[in-house]
Structure 1
Amino acid sequence: MWIPELVRSVTESVAERTDERTAAVFARCFADTLEATMTPLPDGTVFVLTGDIPAMWLRDSTTQLTPYLHFAASTPQLADLLVAINRRQLDDIAHDPYANAFNAEANGAGHQGDLTDSSPRIWERKYEIDSLCYPIRLASDIHRATGRTDHLDGRFRDAVRRVIELWRIEQDHENRSSYRFERHDAPLTDTLVREGRGSLTAPTGMSWSAFRPSDDACTYGYNVPGNAFAATVLADIEEIASEVLRDDALAADASALRAEIVAGIREHAVVQAPSPGGETVPIYAYEVDGFGGRLLMDDANVPSLLSLPLLGWCGVDDPLYRATRSFILSDANPTYSAGTAGRGVGSPHTPDDHIWPIALAVEGLTSTDPDDKRRVLRTLLDTDAGTSVMHESFHVDDPGVYTRPWFSWANAMFCELVLDVAGLRTLTREPVAAGSLS
């Protein structure tokens, strides 16, 4: 009975600070993950559906929980639930740290025909650096929100050690990695070139990733926002290792790898690009390869360049971030679209001229202008196609044309923006990794 009470209580607080329409959509989206996506398992962990796909993504099952973290300290049952989900995630990492999505049991569902070293428990084995970041971030956020440490146990220690080991291997993907992935009879974005190795890369200090947070293949092997996220998560590991686990060796390993990744971003990912005003300014590239190849764009999925302050990489006023943000929210960014229904960032993962509510929520959350935050919130409310939930993406001229009718991550990000506008978003992050690199 605690779930309906939590939804009612938080929705009442939202209604007091916003309006009836906002509160109504918030109530439905806030209840979505708690009431419709979770399945307790016999081992005491909890499996979380992404929505209309019957699998648990390490990334989505963390981001779906984001708005609940603000209330975990005052709701013990919620904190217990978050810990049970996090333990499931850590067990999945122990099963295979290269996999991005898992089944509730070893039933062979999902993409079993891919040419990679999979298993019946794995729904999909697309390696994405952010998939390993998210469960560690959730563990850290539970600790920060509630003060709990019981989940920061041997399971957590073993998982983060394995993550650090993998990220070090993938600093030199060409010579050290055995990971391969091919999917036949699928779009090119669903497979890796060079017999599953991916495009050629040279060591940079950053860690290689096969796929983006969108599950699309990287054009170049070093996804910059993914590496920025890894750097902030390594700071989380260092803090927990020092203060909770009392493991100086683990703290030192995390610190050393973080320094290498930050240096790699500084040297290889900060590039010159035309600004909307016409002058040339430094911005972050989205992907690089170590040979000088660079991709100037952003993707709606988080981690994105637009989301860097939310990850804890930099502040919203950081000059390099501001220049990158100006590029992202302009026609110079190939994934940016504007139409009669709205304007914002989309993704090559969905059709042209589609905006993602996730990206709109990130745009609002990283804005320094309260009026701009409310504008973005109004756009989200006006483009739900009368469903009172968010979708994966919608057409810039017709919100009735959308992808994925049930996408729990988007619902959670809408809630996060509403809580921000209402002054109820309490768990935030200060920059820990970079400062300004400009």
Structure 2
Amino acid sequence: MAQQMTPRLDPAIDATLRTAADRVRRVAGERIGTMVDDALRRTLTDTMTVGADGSTFVITGDIPAMWLRDSTVQLTPYLRFLADCPPLATLVAGVVRRQFACLDHDSYANAFNDGPTGARYDLDDICADPHVWEQKYEVDSLAYPVTLAHRLWRTDPGQAASLFDERAHRVLRVVVDQLRTEQRHDSSTYRFARDTTIPTETLARGGRGTPVGATGMTWSAFRPSDDACTYGYNVPANLFAAQALLDLAEIAGEVYGDVVLAHDARTLSRELVDGVATHGVVTAPGDEAQIYAYEVDGLGGVLCMDDANTPSLLSLPLVAPDVIDAEVWQATRRFVLSPANPYFFTGTLVSGIGSPHTAPGFVWPIALAVEGLTGTPDDRRRVLELIARADGGTGQVHESFDPSDPTRYSRPWFSWADSMFCELALAVVDDASP
């Protein structure tokens, strides 16, 4: 797709970012303020390109593809500025427009190319669509664009109005129908198989995934980490989808006057929440508390853990505030931030949540940021300073790092981590405001 200038030179955006970084400097110090200033600008100037049609393509940082999940979360720290910075709202609208186009093209894919370039993670994948980088079906890929569109609409109805055309209406219908189809995955035609010795990079049973029973929840092939699910019902993804369906219902009813779609979305949201309550709430290992499992299969398989990528169990108050059980989540938080979680790692510098997606024992700044954002003001300040000290001397936030030696890290530049660090810093500023 033909591309135009990135938004780096827009004076209104520049002024907004400069003001935000200066506020961070006053509260958290010069070094953290500079890291935030650099990160806020880096995402806009180095990951985004604006097409001739006004849509915005967003890469992850060091991979030249657009993930529906990452491209949403990369925008998180900017959303608070939309009402006061129209050019920034226009940019976000362009991202939503591209996300809807991607979903309209292939609602099972998680990552896309900037046009039919033919680039792919693995040239031998079943999906050979030149527009698709990777076709790993992840429930959050459907949910994140809906929640972003909803937030933009509620913040700037005039800006969002142009987004809700016939294509967007069609996509919203596809989201509901696909989530419902995958409640009974055996009736789905989706398959993913990759010739690899890494089990998390492909699906069992000829690409269908491990067996599942009907639970009312919706099936996901892969986690937000892009790793294959051990069991097909990912609990945080289901609760996030339930929240997104409530957002979708509001858009369907108020924008399109589509009472059928709105009803279908709300009904499905309730089914997902009920399915989680019935099958996804379990007794914590070594405890009597009731917690959310990470994954279940409806056949007795239960996986108690949490992963650094969002939606995670720890992030539920951020991504699914209206559909979670607060008491169950509090018990879940205690579990995932303890050694009982097999992906909670401790080093000499920091303790935090990692992921099977990266080296054993490595901690993720994204999960540290979520820990702060879902905790107390003291938690936020403490975690912000920890992440800043764990940059390995680079001035940048990485995907993961050794909690005893931050000079050992994965991915020299990961824009999602940059954005979560910025969001945490801005929350610390909010805490300090009178």
Shift of 1:114: 4.1
Q: What stretches of structure 2 of length at least 5 have no aligned partner?
A: 1-9
Partner of 2:84, secondary structure, is: coil
Alignment of 1:376-391 (within 5 A): 376-391=383-398
Identity score, percent = 52
Q: Which residue is equivalent to 2:185?
A: 173
Alignment of 1:320-359 (within 5 A): 320-359=328-367
Normalization by structure 1: what TM-score?
A: 0.93
Contact 1:118-1:125 at 8 Å conserved across structures? no
Match of 1:98 among 104, 108, 118: 108
Distance in 2 between residues matched to 1:127 and 1:425, nearest whole Å: 41
Contact 2:236-2:312 at 8 Å conserved across structures? yes
Q: Which residue is equivalent to 1:249?
A: 260
Contact 1:270-1:283 at 8 Å conserved across structures? yes
Shift of 1:339: 0.6
1:415 corresponds to 2:422:
yes
Distance in 2 between residues matched to 1:230 and 1:340, nearest whole Å: 37
> 2:358 is aligned with what amino acid?
T
Match of 2:169 among 141, 154, 157: 157
Normalization by structure 2: what TM-score?
A: 0.94
Alignment of 1:66-81 (within 5 A): 66-81=76-91
Q: CA offsets per residue over residues 275-304 of structure 1, 9 Å max, x none?
A: xxx541110000000111110000000000
Contact 1:182-1:191 at 8 Å conserved across structures? yes
1:311 corresponds to 2:322:
no
Partner of 1:380, secondary structure, is: helix
Match of 1:208 among 219, 244, 250: 219
Q: Which residue is equivalent to 1:394?
A: 401
Change (3 A) 1:382 1:42: same
Distance in 2 between residues matched to 1:117 and 1:404, nearest whole Å: 26
Alignment of 1:116-131 (within 5 A): 116-131=126-141
Change (3 A) 1:96 1:87: same
1:263 corresponds to 2:263:
no
Q: CA offsets per residue over residues 74-109 of structure 1, 9 Å max, x none?
A: 111111110011100100000000000000010100
1:20 corresponds to 2:27:
no
Shift of 1:112: 5.1
Partner of 1:423, secondary structure, is: helix
Partner of 1:184, secondary structure, is: coil
Q: Which shows bigger deviation, 68-77 or 114-123?
A: 114-123
> 1:198 is aligned with what amino acid?
G
Shift of 1:244: 2.1
Shift of 1:411: 0.2
Q: CA offsets per residue over residues 317-363 of structure 1, 9 Å max, x none?
A: 92111100000000000000001121000000001110000000000
Shift of 1:152: 2.5
> 2:131 is aligned with what amino acid?
R
Q: CA offsets per residue over residues 257-285 of structure 1, 9 Å max, x none?
A: 111111100100000123xxx54111000
> 2:64 is aligned with what amino acid?
P
Shift of 1:118: 3.8
- Structure in which a larger fraction of residues adopt helix: 2
Q: CA offsets per residue over residues 220-277 of structure 1, 9 Å max, x none?
A: 0000000000000000011112222211111001011111111100100000123xxx
Distance in 1 between residues matched to 2:140 and 2:181, nearest whole Å: 16
Shift of 1:35: 1.1
Contact 1:316-1:322 at 8 Å conserved across structures? no
What's the RMSD between the two structures over aligned residues? Answer: 1.7
